[in-house]
Amino acid sequence: MNRVSAKICGLSTPQTLDAAIKHGASHVGFVFFPKSPRHLDFARAQRLAARVPGHIRKVGVFVDPDDAMLDAAAGAAALDAIQLHGHESPARVSAIAKRFGIEIWKAIPVRASADLATAAMFDGAADRILFDAKTPENAALPGGMGLRFDWKLLEGFRHGMPWALSGGVDAGNLAEAARITGATLLDTSSGVESAPGIKDVDKIAAFLKAVAAL
Ligand SMILES: O=C(O)c1ccccc1N[C@@H]1O[C@H](COP(=O)(O)O)[C@@H](O)[C@H]1O
């Protein structure tokens, strides 16, 4: 199996961010979406970002953001990557990539195999695809709900772009997720929480230890 790395997303306190750094996350995620229990204001994001060493990538998570929101967040948190988790079109993704000149991730909501094909639309626009579980129509959030999709949909799936897996991944199921899908980057938020928006340092440590053991 290829070496697997991990993004711990939705961090909002120094203690839990430090746990992600200490135990070997390759990426840390900061959510900029007011409806989310993990939403950060820019001042808090700036303070957290200052704790992150340069070898760990800081990813900002957004849902259909305007340029003003991206400018403010990318500036405050010195983001290395922008994760777009809404209904952004390929043209909008390209425009954001051009404006910011940093890595762009596009989340693709997956429920059925036909959903995987959507990723091809972002070839040349995004740098990485994030396959995430599709949340219900009336859900409050388009991600970060701990829902998983049928990972077998990605079994043997060949994709030309770098990609990552998210959606309900936790310390107990990540080995299965990596084995079935072949993902080399696993992204989790709810899987390392004790309640929505409340990260747990022990769960973060367990997740990252399980990733290192793959
Ligand atoms: O975490 C959030 O609150 C969030 C809000 C809006 C869009 C995406 C969000 N989170 C991302 O969703 C995936 C899956 O999370 P989970 O592990 O199933 O809870 C992950 O990439 C989060 O960054």
- 86-95 pLDDT, tens digit per residue, is 999 999 999 9
Atom number of ligand 1 nearest to Cα 169:
17
Atom number of ligand 1 nearest to Cα 168:
18
Give just the sign of the alpha carbon dihedral 52, 102, 110, 162.
negative
Q: 């091809």: which residue's tokens? A: 120
Give the mean pLDDT of 101-115.
96
What confidence category does residue 2 fall into, taking pLDDT thresholds of 50, 70 and 90?
A: low
Ligand 1, CB cutoff 6 Å, lining residues: 9-10, 29, 31, 33, 36, 38, 61, 63, 85, 130, 132, 141-147, 166-169, 187-191
The hierarchical CATH code for the domain 5-212 is 3.20.20.70
Give just the sign of the alpha carbon dihedral 168, 174, 176, 177.
positive
pTM of model > 0.80? yes
Q: What is the mean pLDDT of the chain?
A: 95
Whole-number Å distance, alpha carbon 10 to ligand 1 midpoint, is: 7
**Which tens digit of pLDDT belongs to each residue from 176-211?**
999 999 999 999 999 999 999 999 999 999 999 999
Whole-number Å distance, alpha carbon 190 to ligand 1 midpoint, is: 8
Decide if the complex's ipTM is over 0.90: yes
Percent of the chain past pLDDT 90, that is, above it, reads 93
CB-based contacts of 75, cutoff 8 Å, min separation 6: none
Which amino acid is it at 197?
G
Atom number of ligand 1 nearest to Cα 167:
18
